[in-house]
A and B are shown apart, each in its own frame.
Chain A
Amino acid sequence: MGIWKYIRNRILMFLAGLAIILLTSFFAIYRLPGDPARMILGPRASAESIAQFRHESGLDEPVLKQFGAFCERIARLDLGDSLVYRRPVLALLSERAGQTIRLIGYAFLVLVAFAIFIPLGLRAVGLGVVDNAFRVIWGGLSAAPPYVLALLTLTVFAGFFRVLPAVFERSYFSCWLAAAVVLATYPTALASRLFEDALTIAMASDYAIRARAQGFGEAGILLREALVNAIPAPVSAIANGLAYFFTGTFFVEVAFGVGGIGSLTYEAIRNKDITVLAGICLLFAIVISSLSAMLDLAQHLVNPRMRRSREWQG
């Protein structure tokens, strides 16, 4: 499959995904059991005000027309108002997104550092033992789900050693670091294991033996020969890790008390704030599908084997 055809197909997929999300959010808000007008105005609203509201917000129009209007509003970036906070959903989202982006950004740095750079550095200077110890620790921690890890971290570092404030404090870097490490644990364990496996295979391969016979040192072989061949495995695990962050942040934010999108989701679920939930769904869908489209394209370009034979399975 040629690269242009691949890009075209990928964009079509992206659009199809978006269409489904739009449809689902639309039906989640307007077509579910229960009258949205009743839900928005509250149980004590009079029949007249409900009729007026239905007319004003176009709820008495045919479904297709309503869907058209819904899509148009979305295109104008108008996601409606929160049923609980009585404020535009978009404003709420952009207010909260910063913290989530910051958390995921730090977690990504932790992931890349501990999955690739630190193992590589340790192995290059002959400290493979330390690297192994790190991997065992990550593996052990990754058995616990993020919310248990969060509790553990808070108990140990905030309760016992008192090096961490018990309540999440935005200006403390240590709080961010703790949350980011917890969020990054599972993908880090996975990616570092895959990298180690790939490196071990590469270091035992024919070209490594040849390089060794030519008198290159182990560190040189590692960095010049093995790295290039071993890197695709952890890179795709890191890509999956990014997708994991978007679900993981939901639990980590609530457990630590980070006020990002994850906490907003939690509040919206608790308050049955459907417009906010639909907005979050839409936001996540756009972010995740654009990310996965970009990652697919990047892998396509980076890995020569994928350029020719790549089907749709990773």
Chain B
Amino acid sequence: MSGKVRFVHGIALAWLGLMVILAGAAAWLPLPNPIELDLRAVAVPPSLAHLAGTDELGRDVLSRLLHAGGSTLAIVAGATGLSLAIALVLGTMSGFVGGWVDAAVRIAVDVLWSVPFVIFVVLIVGVAGVSKTSLILTIGALNWVGPARVIRGEAARLRDMDFIVAARAHGYSQTAIVAWELLPNLRRSILTLAAYGAIEVLTLETGLAFLGLSLPAPAPTWGGMLADGLGYFSTAWWIVIAASAVITATLGSLQVGARYLEKAG
């Protein structure tokens, strides 16, 4: 932990924490129903009753943003977790065990690397049907390649370090060495990879939603709100502004966090 903690890190952490708490608790907060239309309050500018205004169908923008945040953050967490788990297993096996396992993982990595990732996700999710689960599984199962490369390199570097050689000389099993010696030393890389992975998944999911390819209406999504709000930008600017601000602030905070972890490691 040698990174210098600065003001900007505090803000980033506070924003992410706030987002997670508010989005996670959106269902229990005293917010209007995010999919309930109120045609008496169409496109109302921000006020005390509607902190971020209402959209073209009278739905509360803040409520929609927070509910959308819940599903988006669930997808981000799920897909990032899944891809990291795959990357961790394959990366350590490949780097630590070597041999044919290494060769097999290398080929898989090189092959997946050349696959047009976004199109594949869209294709598979389109066929399997768009849902939180299908997005998590598809993105998670395809997005482990980058992290696996890094973890494999780290594992290969650590394999011949003195403390691992010592553990081996003590007669510890391979599994025990991986669990007690290797993994704790990979902690920092894993956190950094998780932050970068979350950035990628968030950009992708929001982008797909922007194109209408993520969770179908009426479920609110950040990207979807951005796309729908565009048509009403001249009359109800707050929809686009609020959605862009939330997306950008979340992505920016993740980037600040990722860079901090990277430098500290």
Interface SS of chain A: helix, strand, loop or mixed?
helix
Q: A266-B211, A289-B114 are in contact. Are A151 and B150 (CB under 8 A)?
A: no
- Which of B150, B213, B226 is A148 in contact with, Cβ under 8 Å? B226
Beta-carbon contacts of B199-226 to A below 8 Å, as 1s and 0s? 0000100110011110000000001001
Q: B110 near A: Cβ within 8 Å? A: yes
CA distance A132 to B129 in the complex (A): 47
- Which of B110, B206, B226 is A312 in contact with, Cβ under 8 Å? B110
Q: Say which one of B20-28, B63-71, B120-128, B179-187 lies at the interface with A.
A: B120-128
Q: A145-B207, A281-B120 are in contact. Are A314 and B127 (CB under 8 A)?
A: no
A247 touches B255 (CB 8 A): no
Q: A28-B123, A147-B223, A313-B149 are in contact. Are A16 and B251 (CB under 8 A)?
A: no
- Which of A33, A246, A312 is B109 in contact with, Cβ under 8 Å? A312
Q: Which residue of A lies closest to B259 (CB)?
A: A193
Distance to closest chain A CB from B184 (angstroms) = 21
Distance to closest chain A CB from B21 (angstroms) = 21
CA distance A251 to B118 in the complex (A): 10
A314 touches B149 (CB 8 A): yes
* Centre residue among A13, A159, A311, A312 by max chain B CB count within 10 A: A312
Distance to closest chain B CB from A113 (angstroms) = 23
Beta-carbon contacts of B106-144 to A below 8 Å, as 1s and 0s? 110111011111111011001100000000000000000
Distance to closest chain B CB from A120 (angstroms) = 23
Q: B156 near A: Cβ within 8 Å? A: yes
Interface size class of A (residues with CB under 8 A): 35 or more
CA distance A179 to B259 in the complex (A): 27
Q: A143-B255, A251-B207 are in contact. Are A312 and B106 (CB under 8 A)?
A: yes
Contact partners of A250 in chain B: CB under 8 A:
118-119, 207
Q: A180 near B: Cβ within 8 Å? A: no
A281 touches B123 (CB 8 A): yes
Interface size class of B (residues with CB under 8 A): 35 or more
Contact partners of A13 in chain B: CB under 8 A:
107, 110-111
A145 touches B156 (CB 8 A): no
The B-contacting residues of A in range 251-276, CB under 8 angstroms, are 251, 254-255, 265-266, 269-270, 272
Q: A292 near B: Cβ within 8 Å? A: yes
B240 touches A16 (CB 8 A): no
Q: Which residue of B lies closest to A142 (CB)?
A: B255
CA distance A250 to B248 in the complex (A): 19
Beta-carbon contacts of A137-178 to B below 8 Å, as 1s and 0s? 000001111111001100100010000000000000000000
CA distance A20 to B226 in the complex (A): 36
CA distance A266 to B213 in the complex (A): 9
Q: A251-B207, A284-B119 are in contact. Are A151 and B226 (CB under 8 A)?
A: yes
B113 touches A143 (CB 8 A): no
Contact partners of A14 in chain B: CB under 8 A:
114
Interface SS of chain B: helix, strand, loop or mixed?
helix
A280 touches B119 (CB 8 A): yes
B152 touches A313 (CB 8 A): yes
Q: A91 near B: Cβ within 8 Å? A: no
Distance to closest chain A CB from B132 (angstroms) = 19
Contact partners of B109 in chain A: CB under 8 A:
312
Q: A145-B207, A145-B247, A155-B233 are in contact. Are A16 and B153 (CB under 8 A)?
A: no
Distance to closest chain B CB from A264 (angstroms) = 11
Q: B244 near A: Cβ within 8 Å? A: yes
Q: A21 near B: Cβ within 8 Å? A: yes
CA distance A270 to B126 in the complex (A): 10
A280 touches B116 (CB 8 A): yes
Contact partners of A270 in chain B: CB under 8 A:
212
A147 touches B110 (CB 8 A): no
Contact partners of A16 in chain B: CB under 8 A:
107, 110-111
Contact partners of B230 in chain A: CB under 8 A:
151
B244 touches A285 (CB 8 A): no
The A-contacting residues of B in range 141-161, CB under 8 angstroms, are 149-150, 152-153, 156
Instruction: Please give the residue numbers on chain A whose beta carbons come within 8 Å of chain B beta carbons, in ascending order.
Output: 13-14, 16-17, 20-21, 24, 28, 32-33, 142-148, 151-152, 155, 159, 246-247, 250-251, 254-255, 265-266, 269-270, 272, 277, 280-281, 284-285, 288-289, 292, 311-314
Additional A-B contacts beyond A147-B223, A284-B119 (12; CB < 8 A) = A16-B110, A16-B111, A20-B111, A143-B248, A143-B251, A145-B207, A147-B206, A148-B247, A151-B226, A247-B116, A288-B114, A311-B156
Instruction: Please give the residue numbers on chain B whose beta carbons come within 8 Å of chain A beta carbons, in ascending order.
Output: 106-107, 109-111, 113-120, 122-123, 126-127, 149-150, 152-153, 156, 203, 206-207, 210-213, 223, 226, 230, 233, 240, 244, 247-248, 251-252, 255
3 smallest A-B Cβ distances: which pairs? A143-B252, A289-B114, A284-B116
